[in-house]
Amino acid sequence: MAERLRVHVDPDKCQGHARCKALAPELFELDEYGNAHEAGDGTVPPGLEDKAWLAKSNCPEIAIDVIEE
């Protein structure tokens, strides 16, 4: 069975580069300052796994975790 993924943004590391929002808009949201957090509880809907990894590998602050559950 395929593993379920969950994304998480470390708010202490995020500096608002907003790469995750550009690459995986379904998985991330920005606050009024442009800093990112995961959408909802971070669960990655089926089919969006690649976008989750892409967001992680483009975050300059290494602020994104992809957790395999």
Residues that bind other proteins in the complex, under the rule CB under 8 A: 15-19, 21-22, 30, 32-34, 54, 57-62
Q: Which is nearer to other proteins, 16 or 43 (CB)?
A: 16
Q: How far is the CB of 1 from other proteins (least distance, A)?
A: 27
Q: How far is the CB of 6 from other proteins (least distance, A)?
A: 21
- The DSSP-derived string for 1-34 is -PPPEEEEE-TTT--S--HHHHH-TTTEEE-TTS
Q: Which is nearer to other proteins, 1 or 33 (CB)?
A: 33
Q: Which is nearer to other proteins, 5 or 14 (CB)?
A: 14
For the chain, the helix, strand and coil percentages under 3-state DSSP, each to the nearest 5: 20, 25, 55
Q: What CA–CA distance (Å, rounded) separates 47 from 26? A: 11
